[in-house]
Amino acid sequence: MKKTIIKAIAIGFVSISILGACNSPSKKVENAQTNVNEANKELDEANVAYLVEVDTYRKEAIEKINANNKSITEFNQRIAKEKSAAKADYQKKIADLETKNTDLEKKLTDYKDDGKENWEKFKTEFNQQMTDLGEAIKGLTIKDKK
């Protein structure tokens, strides 16, 4: 009899422990909903940060493009006094640089938000093209000063 009572009490404690440790279905749903809400909030914050980064980058790139335009215009004014043979050569080079600058501006304007991974790829390529163009403009103006 004593063993039966001890077994019953032991089974009762084990049952209570097991049931107490398990979450009810409504508690599981509540926890899952909380996790989903937190994930959505983090995703929204990441999207906002991404859009701010894109907007900031575009503004900075447009400033660089405008600076390139200004340099090209100033160079055009300086070469106006050159001899016709040198002037024609410079004008062709300047026209190519203007085209590249305009193409970069169009590429930046036409970029559609296509996800962070594609944005990083676009930004890397665009930075390289901007650097190359800037060096070409500087190289042309340095040659002129010599």
pLDDT for res 30: 79
Looking at per-residue confidence, does 64 or 20 come out higher? 64
Quote the domain boundaries for residue 106: 32-145
Per-residue pLDDT tens for 47-97?
Answer: 888 888 888 999 999 999 999 999 888 888 888 777 777 777 888 888 999
Q: What angle do CA 101, 107, 112 make, to 5 degrees?
A: 155
Quick check: is 125 in a domain? yes
Nearest to 68 by CA among 92, 91, 97: 97
Report yes or no on 92 lying in a domain: yes
Q: Does residue 11 lie within any of the structural domains?
A: no
Assess contact for 133 and 98: CB atoms under 8 A. Answer: no
Is residue 140 within 8 A of residue 75, CB to CB? The reply is yes
The model's pTM is 0.67
Q: Into how many domains does the chain fold? A: 1
Is 89 within the bounds of a domain? yes
CA 55 to mean position of chain CA atoms: 9
130 within a domain of the structure (yes/no): yes
